[in-house]
Each structure stands twice: as structure tokens, then as C-alpha cells.
């Protein structure tokens, strides 16, 4: 179970009392007077719908809220799109369908453009690690940033004679060789979805670049470092080697949501992803035994995603200016973060709570390991290439462009140094175009 401290419990009593009144359909006064019901209203909601476990869990919360508040209609306009979520949002904005409440992942840009509004203070006070930009908190994270790592078939490891988990990256490569020799494909990757490629790309960038220099993006924008530097070359070379030697050769045609079937059917021994995949795996085959671990770097250091991110639920500026919509959205978010609802949501996706009050919910053995990794003081926590802000903001389109560059690098067996020279040129072009540099 995910436990809460005495201090958190004391805070939780007060918060639960507040949430109870809010989730009942509106705010009440402290004197026990009438609870003022929310006015009839409809607001739209959108979130990145690529991960089915999270999508289903969110739909369940939305349905539960509307059942408890029949005068509020939430129009879920989320959809699985071949476009990146950012591009999809831009299209919605262009056609006048920008959502009232949305999962925001490009906060800095949308805040600067006046498209989103700061969170109400009473929502900020629910959060454990609220992140500010422009002196304001714009997001209520759906969950804390989880670590990514290897989800592995215990049966496949046993069949390959693997009796202990790797303690260095070289030992990890040795595990891949053992799996390959046993006749199973070591790794499946959902390369049909560009974001999935980012899991491995950022693993190597964190190991070789960001863990040592969290301000690398700012230094790159200033021209002080280069994609052709030794550490970046190492990261990209590791990515290329791994995909060339150990990943299912059909990875470009495998969707992120198809990776589960490869794992449970025995077509592949491992998947590099996050705890949100645990529930879909168990649902696909309740008898399938799997474990989870973080892939260490060459020195044995564990470096993972895990720092707070500038992402989460955000109000659109337009909705924030509408008192009726704004009140309903605030009430919905109180409902979402109420201990019972939030605990159910987190249990469904194997999420990590972003609130001060930690709901109690059951966790599996793999999830216990994910939590242990984050709690270990020796673990180095970092962020993906596009999840920094301020001076470390990268051009908006560069992440996708860079991922596609590395995809082509593997497919064409291209030269790493040449590709990184191209990355430098494109980064500078986009940075100048967006005014990040002269």
C-alpha cells in the first residue's frame, strides 16, 4: 500500500472535509449552511489519449463526476490522433475548438500566448510540488513524473539463464545477448508512435547529458555546446546500437498499444516504458509474471525521469474568464483530486500522487520497485529534452524533428556524426525562427 505520514494525515482531514463539500456539487459555507449548487453548464475537456490505461481511467472519473453532478456536462473532445498532441491542440485552437480544461504539456508557450490561465490558489494548495513559470502556477499535474525502465518477462529471463538484474549498462547489454541467444527477441518498441521512441532517446540523453548538465539546452541555445560533442555522440550511438541489434525489426510498424501483446505472447522479452503499462499488461494476461527495473549507466548509476514537470490540468484563458464554467472546472478538479477518486485513478494507471495528501491505494510488486527507485537518494532524477523551461526551453518543433532524425539514422544505418551536425543546423534555424537566439 502507498502509505501516508501522520503529518499528511492531519492535513488530509482538513482537505478531505473541503473536498467533500466541493465534490458534492459546489462550495458550502463553514457554518453548515446550504450548499450552493453549481449552475447548469457544459465545458470541454481534452488530454493526450495515446495511453489507453490513462484514457480509460480519465473517462471513468469524468463519468463519475457527471453522475454526481447531473447539471454539469463535460464534453470530452480527446481523440487518438496521428498528429503529436501539441499539433492536435494547435489545430483545435485554429478552428475555434480550444478546450476549456486541458492536459497541458507545452505550458510556457501557451501561457506566453495567453491561451491558458493560472490555477486558482485553492487548487495550488493541494499540490505537493507546484511548478511556477512567469511567477504563476499554471498546471495541476495528473501525477508525479514516473521513472521509466525495463518491464521484463520473468519466464524469458529464467529461460535465458538470467539470474540477477544488471548493475551496469554493459551488464544490461550482456543480458540482451543472452536473451537473443535463447531464441527470443530481446526488446519490443512501439516506434509507430513517435513519443515512444523518445523513451529510449531520452534514457541515453539523461545518462550522458542532462544528469551531468541540467542546463545543457540553455548552453546549446547559446552556442556553448553542440550535438556533435562526445557525450551526445555517445548517447545517440548507444540508441542506434540498441535498436540495430536488439529491438524487434518491425518496430516502425508497432504501435505503443501493441507492445503489450508482444510481451505477454512471448514474441519479445522486454519493453522499455513506465508504470502506466503495468495495468494493461496484467489485464492482457493476469497470469503473466513480469518485473521492472531502471537501466543503469556504464558506471552503475541509476538516472531516470522523475523531476517535477511543467505539465498537467490547465484552464483555458477563455474558460477562466467565464464565472460559471470556471466554477464547474474548479469543482471537477477538486473531485478529481479527492482521496477516493484520485486513489482509484492512480491505482488504475500505477501513478504517483502529485498532491500533498497521499491517497492509500494498492500497488503491485513492479510498482513498489518504481516507487523505491524514486525514493532512493542515490537515484539521479532528470527530465526529457522537451520538458525543461525558462532558458532551457527548446524550439517547439525540435523534439519531433530530432526523434525523426534518429529514427532515420537507425533505418538507413546513417553516420552519427553527420546526423548530429544536421541537428545543430536545424536547432539553430528553429531557435532563430522562434526568437530564442539571434
Q: How far is CA 322 from CA 41, 100, 140, 330, 360, in A?
A: 11, 10, 19, 12, 35
Nearest by Cα to 127 from 360, 354, 358 = 354
Q: What span, in angstroms and rounded, lies between the C-alpha atoms of 288 and 291?
A: 10
Per the structure block, which three cell numbers stand in for 309? 514537470
- How many CB atoms neighbour CB 109 within 10 A? 16
Q: What span, in angstroms and rounded, lies between the C-alpha atoms of 364 and 291?
A: 10
For cell 477516493, what's the residue? 340
Give CATH superfamily name and number for 149-305+378-433.
Periplasmic binding protein-like II (3.40.190.10)
3 state SS of 28: coil
pLDDT by position in tens, the chain (length 438):
333 332 333 233 223 223 333 333 443 333 334 446 788 999 999 999 877 888 999 999 999 999 999 999 999 999 876 567 888 899 999 999 999 999 999 899 899 999 999 999 999 999 999 999 999 999 999 999 999 999 999 999 999 999 999 999 999 999 999 999 999 999 999 999 999 999 999 999 999 999 999 999 999 999 999 999 999 999 999 999 999 999 999 999 999 999 999 999 999 999 999 999 999 999 999 999 999 999 999 999 999 999 999 999 999 999 999 999 999 999 999 999 999 999 999 999 999 999 999 999 999 999 999 999 999 999 999 999 999 999 999 998 999 999 999 999 999 999 999 999 999 999 999 999 999 988
Per the structure block, which three cell numbers stand in for 53? 490505461
Nearest by Cα to 398 from 422, 431, 420 = 431
Strand ranges across the sheet with 101-104? 72-76, 41-46, 101-104, 312-316, 116-117
In degrees, rounded to 5, the angle at the alpha carbon of residue 333 between the alpha carbons of residues 330 and 335 is 110
Q: What span, in angstroms and rounded, lies between the C-alpha atoms of 168 and 296?
A: 5
pLDDT of residue 82: 53
Q: Quickly list DSSP for 61-115.
A: HHHHHHHH-TTEEEEE-----SS-HHHHHHHHHHTT---SEEEES-HHHHHHTT-
3 state SS of 385: coil
Every domain range in the chain assigned CATH 3.40.190.10: 6-144+308-362, 149-305+378-433
Q: What span, in angstroms and rounded, lies between the C-alpha atoms of 393 and 186?
A: 35
Nearest by Cα to 118 from 399, 313, 402, 271 = 313
At a CB cut-off of 8 Å and minimum separation 6, what does 72 contact? 38, 40, 41, 42, 43, 65, 66, 328, 331, 332
3 state SS of 137: strand
Q: Does domain 6-144+308-362 have CATH number 3.30.530.20?
A: no
pLDDT of residue 438: 80
Task: Give the global pTM.
Answer: 0.84
pLDDT of residue 4: 31
pLDDT of residue 80: 72
Per the structure block, which three cell numbers stand in for 333? 478538479
Q: What span, in angstroms and rounded, lies between the C-alpha atoms of 22 and 321?
A: 20
Residue 183 φ/ψ region, left for φ over 0, alpha for ψ in the -120 to 50 degree band, beta for the rest:
left
At a CB cut-off of 8 Å and minimum separation 6, what does 115 contact? 93, 98, 316, 317
For cell 548493475, what's the residue? 167
Nearest by Cα to 127 from 379, 3, 326, 309 = 309
Q: Are 270 and 179 in contact (CB under 8 A)?
A: yes
Sign of CA dihedral 126, 131, 135, 137: negative
Q: What sections of 310-397 are H helices per DSSP? A: 317-320, 323-337, 339-349, 365-375
Q: What span, in angstroms and rounded, lies between the C-alpha atoms of 249 and 20?
A: 52
Q: What span, in angstroms and rounded, lies between the C-alpha atoms of 368 and 362?
A: 10
Amino acid at each position: 500500500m502507498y502509505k501516508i505520514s501522520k503529518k499528511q494525515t492531519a492535513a488530509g482531514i482538513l482537505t478531505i472535509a473541503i473536498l467533500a463539500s466541493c465534490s458534492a456539487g459546489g462550495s458550502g459555507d463553514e457554518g453548515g449552511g446550504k450548499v450552493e449548487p453549481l449552475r447548469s453548464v457544459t465545458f470541454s475537456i481534452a488530454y493526450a489519449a495515446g495511453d489507453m490505461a490513462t484514457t480509460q481511467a480519465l473517462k471513468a472519473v469524468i463519468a463519475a463526476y457527471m453522475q454526481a453532478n447531473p447539471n454539469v456536462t463535460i464534453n470530452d473532445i480527446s481523440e487518438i490522433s496521428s498528429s503529436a498532441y501539441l499539433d492536435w491542440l494547435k489545430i483545435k485552437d485554429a478552428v475555434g475548438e480550444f478546450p476549456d480544461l486541458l492536459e497541458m504539456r507545452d505550458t510556457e508557450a501557451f501561457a506566453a500566448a495567453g491561451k491558458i490561465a493560472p490555477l486558482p490558489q485553492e487548487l495550488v494548495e493541494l499540490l505537493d510540488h507546484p511548478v511556477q513559470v512567469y511567477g504563476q502556477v499554471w498546471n495541476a499535474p495528473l501525477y508525479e513524473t514516473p521513472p521509466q525502465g525495463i518491464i521484463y518477462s520473468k519466464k524469458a529471463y529464467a529461460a535465458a539463464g538470467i539470474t540477477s538484474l544488471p548493475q551496469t549498462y554493459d551488464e544490461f547489454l550482456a543480458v540482451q545477448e543472452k536473451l537473443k541467444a535463447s531464441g527470443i527477441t530481446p526488446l519490443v518498441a512501439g516506434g509507430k508512435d513517435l513519443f515512444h521512441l523518445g523513451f529510449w532517446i531520452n534514457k541515453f540523453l539523461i545518462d550522458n547529458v542532462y544528469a551531468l548538465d541540467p542546463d545543457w539546452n540553455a548552453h546549446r541555445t547559446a552556442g556553448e555546446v553542440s550535438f556533435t560533442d562526445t557525450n551526445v555522440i555517445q548517447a545517440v550511438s548507444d540508441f542506434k546500437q540498441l535498436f540495430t541489434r536488439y529491438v524487434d525489426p518491425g518496430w516502425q510498424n508497432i504501435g505503443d498499444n501493441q507492445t503489450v501483446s508482444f510481451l505477454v505472447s512471448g514474441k519479445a522479452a522486454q519493453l522499455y516504458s513506465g508504470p502506466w503499462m503495468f495495468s494493461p499488461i496484467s489485464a492482457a494476461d493476469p497470469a503473466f509474471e513480469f518485473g521492472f527495473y531502471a537501466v543503469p549507466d556504464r558506471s552503475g548509476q541509476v538516472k531516470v525521469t522523475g523531476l517535477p514537470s511543467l505539465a498537467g490540468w490547465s484552464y483555458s484563458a477563455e474558460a477562466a474568464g467565464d464565472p460559471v464554467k470556471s466554477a464547474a472546472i474548479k469543482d471537477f478538479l477538486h473531485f478529481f483530486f479527492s482521496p477516493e477518486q484520485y486513489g482509484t485513478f492512480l491505482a488504475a494507471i500505477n501513478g504517483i500522487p502529485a498532491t500533498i495528501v497521499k491517497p492509500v491505494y494498492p500497488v503491485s510488486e513492479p510498482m513498489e520497485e518504481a516507487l523505491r527507485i524514486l525514493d532512493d537518494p542515490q537515484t539521479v532524477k532528470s527530465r526529457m529534452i522537451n520538458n525543461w523551461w525558462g532558458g532551457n526551453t527548446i524550439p517547439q518543433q525540435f523534439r519531433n524533428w530530432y526523434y525523426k532524425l534518429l529514427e532515420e539514422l537507425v533505418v538507413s544505418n546513417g553516420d552519427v556524426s553527420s546526423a548530429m551536425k544536421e541537428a545543430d543546423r536545424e536547432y539553430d534555424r528553429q531557435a532563430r525562427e522562434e526568437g530564442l537566439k539571434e
